[in-house]
Amino acid sequence: MDTVRLGKTNLEVSVAGLGCGGHSRLGQTHGATEAESIAVVQRALDLGINLIDTARAYGTEEIVGKAIKGRRHDVVLSTKALLDTEDSLTASLDKSLKRLGTDYVDVFFLHGVTLDQYQRIGPDCIAELLALRDAGKLRHLAISERFADDAGHAMLPIALADACWDVVMVGFSILNPSARTRVFPITTEQDVAVLVMFAVRKALSSPDELHKVLASVAHREDALDFLVDIVDAAYRFARHEPGTDVVLTGTGNVAHLESNVESINRRPLSGAYLARLETLFRNVDTLTGN
């Protein structure tokens, strides 16, 4: 497993991270047993993945906690709290820590924040996060965008102007590389780490959905036929983009996990392929691939 420095946190992390949300939620969405989901997490650790990302909203924190029991110090653990809930950030984190079976998380995200939400949170929210950090309940402050509703990244440049974030989670893919110019120059300058979500979603894993997307954007259903394995190419595209650190992959299937990790560890796409993708999608900032 390749590793990388996680920006200003200075943590050494795997370039593949296990995402415990998405459509699968470690297989829980599709009827997996708790034992089967725990097995996915433990296989990820055995493959060399040391960054595990979950969230209160995913319903997978308890599974992650059971899977990493006895291995907590081998894991860079992140979880999240939604804004605009009845719980304070402190109460939300305390509940997450209990479910995870730990007394701290390495990275704590404000979860799926919109521009409107960010403009309303005020300095008290950041002060609360800093107090939680000082209390040792979290190590690094983080924020994730609500990419499904903010595919053009309106929120993150505003948030990054506050210069308090150590890690951000960004939607980035072959179909929408707009973070390349709108987010990554800022994170690179500030040494803020980038976790990539949405590298592969429904449109890239379903031929029928992909053809619909390509017909509307590229006006050719076969526009990506030059890629032999689109999922493999999508993971490699995200992994080797300058400015990205960790590519999240989520699944409830061990074999699927192993295949995705293999792709993330492979070499970059050729310059010719990257040039063709740039021509096709350089002006796209509305697609999520979801």
CA dihedral (135, 140, 141, 144) positive or negative: negative
Let me know: does 53 contact 195? Beta carbons within 8 Å: yes
CA dihedral (166, 282, 148, 202) positive or negative: negative
Let me know: does 160 contact 179? Beta carbons within 8 Å: no
Closest by Cα among 8, 11, 9, 77 to 44: 77
Closest by Cα among 176, 83, 87, 151 to 122: 83
Residues with catalytic roles: 58
Give 269's DSSP letter.
P
Closest by Cα among 193, 202, 237 to 78: 193
Q: Is 76 helix (H, G, I), strand (E, B) or coil?
A: strand
Token pair listed for 268: 């970059």
Q: In whole angstroms, what separates CA 55 from the centre of its chain?
A: 11
> What is the enclosing helix (H) or strand (E) of 234?
helix 230-239
Q: Is 205 helix (H, G, I), strand (E, B) or coil?
A: helix
Let me know: does 284 contact 178? Beta carbons within 8 Å: yes
- Taking phi first (over 0 means left), then psi (-120 to 50 degrees means alpha), and beta for anything else, what does residue 88 get? beta
